[in-house]
Amino acid sequence: MLQSAEMPRHTVKASDFSETYRRAFRWMLLARTTEEKIASVFRSGGKITGGVFLGKGQEAISVATGIALRNGDIFAPLIRDQAGRLAFGESLLDCTLTYLGARSGPMRGRDGNVHRGRPLEGLLPMISHLGAMISVVNGMLMAHRFQGKKNTVGAASLGDGATSTGAFHESINQAAVENLPLVLVVTNNQYAYSTPNDRQFACADLVDKAIGYGIRGHSVDGTDLGACLRVIGSAVELARQGEGPQLVVATNLRLVGHGEHDDAHYIAPHLKEMPLGRDSLAVAEAELLQNAWADSETIEGWTRDSISQVEKAIAHSLREPSPDPATEDWCALSSRHLAEGLSSNGSRG
Amino acid sequence: MLQSAEMPRHTVKASDFSETYRRAFRWMLLARTTEEKIASVFRSGGKITGGVFLGKGQEAISVATGIALRNGDIFAPLIRDQAGRLAFGESLLDCTLTYLGARSGPMRGRDGNVHRGRPLEGLLPMISHLGAMISVVNGMLMAHRFQGKKNTVGAASLGDGATSTGAFHESINQAAVENLPLVLVVTNNQYAYSTPNDRQFACADLVDKAIGYGIRGHSVDGTDLGACLRVIGSAVELARQGEGPQLVVATNLRLVGHGEHDDAHYIAPHLKEMPLGRDSLAVAEAELLQNAWADSETIEGWTRDSISQVEKAIAHSLREPSPDPATEDWCALSSRHLAEGLSSNGSRG
Amino acid sequence: MITYLEAIREAQRQALENDPRVYIYGQDIGAFGGAFKATKNLAQSFPGRVLDSPISEDAMVGSAIGASLQGMRPIVEMQFADFSTVGFNQIVNQAATMFWRTGVPCPITIRLPSGGTPGSGPFHSQNLEALYAHYPGLILMTPATVEDAYSMLLEAVALDDPVIFCEHKYLYFHLKAESLPSEALPVGRARIARAGRDATVVTYSAMVHEALSAAEELSTQGWEIEVIDLRSIKPLDTDTVLASVARTGRILAVGEAWPWGGVTAEVLARVATDGFNLLDAPPMRLNSKDTPVPFHPNLWGTHRPTAQTIVSALRDLLRL
Amino acid sequence: MITYLEAIREAQRQALENDPRVYIYGQDIGAFGGAFKATKNLAQSFPGRVLDSPISEDAMVGSAIGASLQGMRPIVEMQFADFSTVGFNQIVNQAATMFWRTGVPCPITIRLPSGGTPGSGPFHSQNLEALYAHYPGLILMTPATVEDAYSMLLEAVALDDPVIFCEHKYLYFHLKAESLPSEALPVGRARIARAGRDATVVTYSAMVHEALSAAEELSTQGWEIEVIDLRSIKPLDTDTVLASVARTGRILAVGEAWPWGGVTAEVLARVATDGFNLLDAPPMRLNSKDTPVPFHPNLWGTHRPTAQTIVSALRDLLRL
Ligand SMILES: Cc1ncc(C[n+]2csc(CCOP(=O)(O)OP(=O)(O)O)c2C)c(N)n1
Ligand SMILES: Cc1ncc(C[n+]2csc(CCOP(=O)(O)OP(=O)(O)O)c2C)c(N)n1
Ligand SMILES: [Mg+2]
Ligand SMILES: [Mg+2]
């Protein structure tokens, strides 16, 4: 697969910006292709249960986060981070196996879709409660400090809506007090589910929150891959150099429903006409062509490659067995000898 | 008593600043006298159980909050608000009866000391969980709006430490989104229990948080009664006129232990030498004399009067019966018919 | 035909219409009508009284408490019951204690879309009634029928105490009734969902229907199982349960929640203490497994009790 | 002589000394040594490993979880158990589910200074063990003795799972032992605190001492009461309880927590289901009253079970 072959995980930052841009674009393309396929499998029915939450339009900011991180770093993605996950090093199979509920996926059917992760590899499996992953990243960074691991960074994704949670506040303040190398990437896509910004917060710009925590804030056009790479890249670099937590606020528009069940009819039409309503993938493609960083033939080749990777991953995942309740280990404790009712088949505590 | 006679509750703001200053000073004096007496009763043992938390040094900012509010307004005091409570209209007896655990106090021995309140009179009884009262004030103000009650204001007190709670964040943001007439008075007394500011937050000044919520922020020297009256007065006025939530940050030093059990040995000596370490009561007294707003004989009279009020209230409260478990109504529901186990004396649910 | 979900919507419409003190507050419940459409069109019909909140469960509940002290009757919708853990403190420490501390009632209703459905996973499937029932000062309603969803929600709003209203998502669309009732059992009274003779199943919410299917199946084999729908788990109608056990001599308590503690433990503890001599056999209980609620339908179907596992538990019980 | 509180401090000192992965995080626990002085001098002895946190219970727990995933062994001190309600979500949804979801253990210890003392009131007196025990994935320790406070806390830190360590404030200063143990029962095993013949009291934490006084008093009248100290309430040692009931035929479950649900319900449900035929009389339970914990000592003394109310319940039980 492209992931292991052409694009080694956590490649050291290319000195050549166009090279990074191309790599990032390919992850975006792969993410978009993956999600379109997932959506179509979902719509065809029967194969995917539970919600399907897509990152369409958010690939630029997401990939920029994933690509800026390297081995030993931490990443806590949220629901719109397919691109960032791939760039960080999550395998495509982790995605498709999880969506298709395969026993062999990292969550073994116990959790699904966007909830996958591998904590030992620095990729945190989100719980649903918004804001709850940030302090977990903080703790991992505190552990690095205790252990003398230097120059690692932890990045966490968040939406505009999640900035209203108490967890967001406590954890960003905690990171500031501990001066942790946390990069908090807030993607303001104008809506939290159906709720527009003006019912969510009242400050002029979410980046204004940085000053209240005594940390550095950065704004970026979330539809512009080049800007995302530069701004996230430098935020990550600052964090890595010991400059403490960095808040990055990207502006864009959610180009899909909250989930695939949602037609997003409530999105104000004028937003779609604004620059923030652009599709970051299309913008990046145009940029590639305009700068002659890639020609259309090359891009077509990449597209074909993405499709083939995705087809393979889906086909493989469809063949994988589902979890079997009879052989499932119904034990929530690692210390098995302390678990209750393991043999009694649920008939008592 | 002075409260009902000379100083009617919720007096309309005196046009004469010196008059307001004198009134405020007298509440401060009464608060200090009350708390000193409470502390001495506590130390003498046996009469007061539970914690004793005093507002020494914080009388200026507290009284300025209480005095700026009027009938129909809401006040959610915290542990260092004896002066503000009195100015808002809480009777001295509510205080002493509660401290002494009298059945006739507003909490009937069910809760104690600083946890007293009378919600129907706009005075909220704090729960211990820091930050939790602010959204309750928000809701009362939302109710006013539903009910067409105009020009009311709700004030909530907070400490520097409580700004780290998720509840603080969610509720200040909620007030901002709803554009509520909330005045949040944060007294930065440099410590939360033993924890100094630098382990609590990393922003240069807590007032910097206002911008992140899109609300107005005000700073004030919490040791200067005149400044407190002016700044809180105008914050309350702005809120009343529909200008939305106001964040006031007062700076001072806690001049006592966190509670009376604490000798506060950890307070950095240099802070006591700084202007923020001044005793706001002493500063106000000096100001009164210097401006010839009161002479020392008058102040002595006020002091005698305060002492006599406090002695009376304590003496009265000591004579009041304690709660009697046998006649106590062990029912947590207002809908008595839905309460469980009322007759079974605790022997089952 | 009207669904369980429509009954909830209808009750809210009624409450808004009949009582100017009522308003609804929650995420995406305004123009959008809520994640499950429980408030569809209500914002349009009652302008300014169905308000979108920020994603701030603590402040949502806190503000509802405040409004209730000022004479309002707020209904708070949690998007999922599971997210109430972030508003937990306001519910259990502020709302639940208010009346006892101050003598001032706190009439709020918190709607918790509860329980498992296939594919919902560990954080969108929880049954949290036992948590809230443990705290003094709260009323816990767990309607199992379309009729109860409607009438109990109206009663929740009318009551002067904080009510945690656990509505089951699995029933939202599946469960239908001919019409809405004009009368109902009072809150605190359980319902005999099916009369029987040989054993009693005590349960609530979605599990009532699993128990009814189980009873149906066993009746083809000559066993008559009585099924009791608790309706509210606090107060819990011990009298009705004991009267049934007096008739059948056997009891199985069934709950969809986790096995340690919870409704089944409370029911059996009450029956054992107050109805010991009524029992012809040891009481039994059936809960979910002691793990988070699994995402995959295969696992989910085994994690919670079902008609089949209830049948098999009942066979054991009848054999004892 | 060493107190219960000193034993907790000593266990933490040992843990810090023996295991470089251990650190402690909580409000005012550094130079100040904690609200109850449970960490007195530890910051001085172990620089950089006993950290003051902001007043952010959610982030405190969340960060401990993260650190544990990276190989650390955090101990989190809540200033009072009651404040854990604000860190509730991270405990029950993040820590408790981590191993089951990912296969990666989450070895954190959360210390909850629990339980009532006179004058502490509704928000500094709570017993929250039943809340946490209801959730899969957590271990609940409730030490009643100086020895257990010490050895169980060391075991909590050594275990690979999240442990909620409910230490009772009423025992902090009152309870003393000659010395600290070098051996202990394994976690999950209950202890027979007093052997008896006529009835079994099953309890835990501070109530063990009330039960022992009650047993003492009844023994002067010829009754021999067996007292079982559960030590951990999840896992709950049903076997030891049943073996005792097999000997005595009578059981009273006592808890300081609220009456709906909780440990007493779980114990009785287990005894009724698995030990029905061992019972010579209906089982009984005794809990606090179903109101918030009152501030005034007069009320507090009646709100919770005491040696006297246990004696009177036991008299009823023995008469049955
Ligand atoms: C604490 C909490 N409350 C409610 C929800 C339900 N919920 C899931 S996603 C969502 C909207 C999130 O919006 P935003 O943070 O802007 O992210 P976006 O979906 O726009 O990427 C909500 C309300 C939740 N997951 N957690
Ligand atoms: C959520 C929560 N956590 C912990 C506590 C324990 N506690 C009570 S007061 C206090 C310090 C408060 O400091 P600050 O907010 O600065 O107020 P001050 O005492 O200085 O007036 C703490 C930690 C609490 N009451 N609530
Ligand atoms: Mg958004
Ligand atoms: Mg302070």
Does the pLDDT value for residue A321 go beyond 50?
Answer: yes
Query: Same domain for D135 and D204?
Result: no
Q: How far is CA A319 from the centre of its chain?
A: 26
Query: Same domain for C156 and C63?
Result: yes
Give, as residue ranges, everything with CB less than 5 Å from ion ligand 4.
B 159-160, 189, 192
Q: Assess whether the C-beta atom of B106 lies below 6 angstroms from ligand 2.
A: no
pLDDT at A94: 98
Q: How far apart are CA B17 and CA B8, in angstroms?
A: 17
Distance B162 CA to ligand 2 centre (A): 6
Does the pLDDT value for residue B3 go beyond 60?
Answer: no
Q: How far is CA C142 from the centre of its chain?
A: 2
How many alpha carbons fall within 13 Å on the CB side of residue D160? Answer: 14
Query: Same domain for D197 and D120?
Result: no
What is the maximum alpha-carbon separation in chain A? 67
Query: Same domain for C157 and C248?
Result: no
Does the pLDDT value for residue A47 go beyond 70?
Answer: yes
Dump pLDDT digits (tens) for D63-98: 999 999 999 999 999 999 999 999 999 999 999 999
Mean local confidence (pLDDT), A62-85: 98
Mean local confidence (pLDDT), D267-283: 98
Segments forming the whole domain that contains residue C143: 2-177
| Structure tokens given for B52 | 């004793």
Three-state DSSP at A17 gives helix
Residues in chain D, total: 320
Query: Same domain for C220 and C144?
Result: no
Residues in chain B, total: 349
Dump pLDDT digits (tens) for A129-181: 999 999 999 999 999 999 999 999 999 999 999 999 999 999 999 999 999 99
pLDDT at B194: 98
Dump pLDDT digits (tens) for B55-72: 999 999 999 999 999 999
Give whole-number Cα distances, C234 to A327, C4, C138, D290, in Å.
37, 21, 8, 11
Q: Assess whether the C-beta atom of A193 lies below 6 angstroms from ligand 1.
A: yes
Q: What is the ipTM of this complex?
A: 0.97
C270's enclosing H/E stretch is helix C262-274
Quick check: is D185 in a domain?
A: no
Quick check: is D186 in a domain?
A: no
Q: How many domains does chain D have?
A: 2
Mention every residue, 6+ apart, whose C-beta is less than 8 A from residue A18.
A291, A293
Strands C232-234 and C139-141, by their bridges, are antiparallel
Quick check: is C184 in a domain?
A: no
pLDDT at D320: 80
Give whole-number Cα distances, B45 to B48, B79, B96, in Å.
7, 21, 15
CA-wise closest residue to D85 among C84, C166, B331: C84
The shortest C-alpha distance from C145 to chain A (Å) reads 25
Q: Assess whether the C-beta atom of B257 lies below 6 angstroms from ligand 2.
A: no
pLDDT at B15: 57
Does the pLDDT value for residue B265 go beyond 70?
Answer: yes
Please judge whether B211 and A215 are an interchain contact, meaning their C-beta atoms are less than 8 angstroms apart. no
Quick check: is C103 in a domain?
A: yes
Burial of B117 (0-12, 13-18, 19+ CB in 10 A): buried
C65 and C94 Cβ atoms separated by less than 8 Å: yes
Residue with tokens 């002691």: C290
| Structure tokens given for A344 | 């009694």
Residue with tokens 């999950």: D188
Q: How far apart are CA D212 and CA A31, in angstroms?
A: 65
B84 and B78 Cβ atoms separated by less than 8 Å: no
pLDDT at A341: 82
Dump pLDDT digits (tens) for A90-122: 999 999 999 999 999 999 999 999 999 999 999
Q: What CATH number did the domain enclosing D52 receive?
A: 3.40.50.970
3-state SS string for chain D: CEEHHHHHHHHHHHHHHHCCCEEEEECCCCCCCCCCCCCCCHHHHCCCCEEECCCCHHHHHHHHHHHHHCCCEEEEECCCHHHHHHCHHHHHHHHHHHHHHHCCCCCCEEEEEECCCCCCCCCCCCCCHHHHHHCCCCEEECCCCHHHHHHHHHHHHHCCCCEEEEEECCHHHHCEECCCCCCCCCCCCCEEEECCCCEEEEECCCHHHHHHHHHHHHHCCCCCEEEEECCEEECCCHHHHHHHHHHHCCEEEECCCCCCCHHHHHHHHHHHHHCHHHCCCCCEEECCCCCCCCCCHHHHHHHCCCHHHHHHHHHHHHHC
Quick check: is C85 in a domain?
A: yes
Distance B252 CA to ligand 4 centre (A): 9
pLDDT band, residue A342 (cuts 50/70/90): confident
Please judge whether A171 and D188 are an interchain contact, meaning their C-beta atoms are less than 8 angstroms apart. no
- Tell which one of A193, A194, A249, A261 to mutate to probe ligand 1, the residue whose CB is within 8 A of the most ligand atoms: A193
DSSP B136-171: HHHHHHHHHHHTT--S--EEEEEETGGGGSHHHHHH
- B-D contacts (CB, under 8 Å): 141
The 10 Å Cβ neighbour count of residue A76 is 28
Q: How far apart are CA D306 and CA C188, in angstroms?
A: 30
Q: How far apart are CA D222 and CA C176, in angstroms?
A: 63
A186's enclosing H/E stretch is strand A182-188
Query: Same domain for D48 and D97?
Result: yes
Query: Same domain for D139 and D222?
Result: no
Q: Nearest-CA residue of chain B relative to A196?
A: B177
B249 and B217 Cβ atoms separated by less than 8 Å: yes
Does the pLDDT value for residue A343 go beyond 80?
Answer: no
pLDDT at C320: 80
Mean local confidence (pLDDT), D187-216: 98
Dump pLDDT digits (tens) for B92-105: 999 999 999 999 99
Angle between the N-to-C axes of helices D238-248 and D262-274, in degrees from 0 to 180, rounded to the nearest 10? 70
CA-wise closest residue to A281 among A30, A40, A68: A30
Q: How far apart are CA D62 and CA A180, in angstroms?
A: 15
Three-state DSSP at A70 gives coil
How does the average pLDDT of chain B come out, rounded? 94
| Statement: B14-335 belongs to CATH 3.40.50.970 | yes
Query: Same domain for C211 and C254?
Result: yes
Mean local confidence (pLDDT), D253-257: 98
Mean local confidence (pLDDT), D152-175: 98
Q: How far apart are CA A78 and CA D5, in angstroms?
A: 42
| Structure tokens given for B211 | 């911008």
Q: How far apart are CA D214 and CA D310, in angstroms?
A: 6
Q: How far apart are CA C7 and CA B214, in angstroms?
A: 40
Query: Same domain for C166 and C35?
Result: yes
Looking at all shown ligands, the one closest to residue A79's CA atom is: 1
D276 and C283 Cβ atoms separated by less than 8 Å: yes
Mean local confidence (pLDDT), D7-34: 98
pLDDT at B10: 44
- Nearest CB to D63; choose among A117, A125, A139: A139
Dump pLDDT digits (tens) for C279-311: 999 999 999 999 999 999 999 999 999 999 999
Which sequence spans correspond to the domains of chain B?
14-335
Mean local confidence (pLDDT), D260-281: 98
Q: How far apart are CA B38 and CA B168, in angstroms?
A: 30
Does the pLDDT value for residue B73 go beyond 60?
Answer: yes
Quick check: is C289 in a domain?
A: yes
Question: Domain end: D149, D177, D205, which one?
Answer: D177
| Structure tokens given for C273 | 């203490």
How does the average pLDDT of chain C come out, rounded? 98
Distance D43 CA to ligand 4 centre (A): 22
CA-wise closest residue to B87 among B119, B57, B121, B64: B64
Phi, psi for A185 (deg, rounded to 5): -105, 105
Looking at all shown ligands, the one closest to residue B168's CA atom is: 2
Residue with tokens 């603590």: C58
Mention every residue, 6+ apart, whose C-beta is less than 8 A from residue A219.
A205, A207, A231, A248, A249, A250, A251
Q: Nearest-CA residue of chain B relative to A244?
A: B202
Quick check: is C20 in a domain?
A: yes
Query: Same domain for C108 and C63?
Result: yes
pLDDT more than 90, % of chain A: 92
pLDDT band, residue B348 (cuts 50/70/90): very low
Residues 154 to 213 of C: which have CB under 8 A from any D CB? none
The answer to whether C245 contacts chain B (CB < 8 Å) is no
CA-wise closest residue to D135 among D161, D157, D154, D116: D161
Does the pLDDT value for residue A9 go beyond 70?
Answer: no
Q: How far apart are CA B188 and CA B223, in angstroms?
A: 11
Burial of D30 (0-12, 13-18, 19+ CB in 10 A): buried
Mention every residue, 6+ apart, whose C-beta is less than 8 A from residue C48.
none
pLDDT band, residue A15 (cuts 50/70/90): low
Burial of C74 (0-12, 13-18, 19+ CB in 10 A): buried
DSSP A197-246: GGGT--SS-GGGHHHHHT-EEEEEETT-HHHHHHHHHHHHHHHHTT---E
The answer to whether B165 contacts chain A (CB < 8 Å) is yes
D28 and D34 Cβ atoms separated by less than 8 Å: yes
With left for phi above 0 and alpha for psi between -120 and 50, is residue B325 left, alpha or beta? Answer: alpha
B236 and B228 Cβ atoms separated by less than 8 Å: no
Burial of A45 (0-12, 13-18, 19+ CB in 10 A): exposed
Compute and round to an integer the Cα radius of gyration of chain C: 19
Touching chains, C (3+ CB pairs < 8 A): A, B, D
Does the pLDDT value for residue B114 go beyond 70?
Answer: yes
Dump pLDDT digits (tens) for B138-167: 999 999 999 999 999 999 999 999 999 999
Mean local confidence (pLDDT), D101-128: 97
CA-wise closest residue to A178 among A206, A150, A141: A141
Does a cis peptide bond (omega within 30 degrees of 0) precede residue A269? no
Dump pLDDT digits (tens) for A249-287: 999 999 999 999 999 999 999 999 999 999 999 999 999
Dump pLDDT digits (tens) for C154-195: 999 999 999 999 999 999 999 999 999 999 999 999 999 999
pLDDT band, residue B347 (cuts 50/70/90): very low
Residues from chain C that touch B153, judged by Cβ atoms under 8 A, are none
B218's enclosing H/E stretch is strand B216-221
Residue nearest to atom 21 of ligand 2 (CA): B159
Amino acid at D25: Y
Dump pLDDT digits (tens) for D222-254: 999 999 999 999 999 999 999 999 999 999 999
pLDDT band, residue B343 (cuts 50/70/90): low
pLDDT band, residue A84 (cuts 50/70/90): very high
Amino acid at A278: R
Please judge whether D276 and C279 are an interchain contact, meaning their C-beta atoms are less than 8 angstroms apart. yes
Quick check: is D12 in a domain?
A: yes
Residue nearest to atom 12 of ligand 1 (CA): A192
Q: How far apart are CA A254 and CA A260, in angstroms?
A: 12
Mean local confidence (pLDDT), C45-70: 98
Q: What CATH number did the domain enclosing D222 receive?
A: 3.40.50.920
Query: Same domain for D131 and D26?
Result: yes
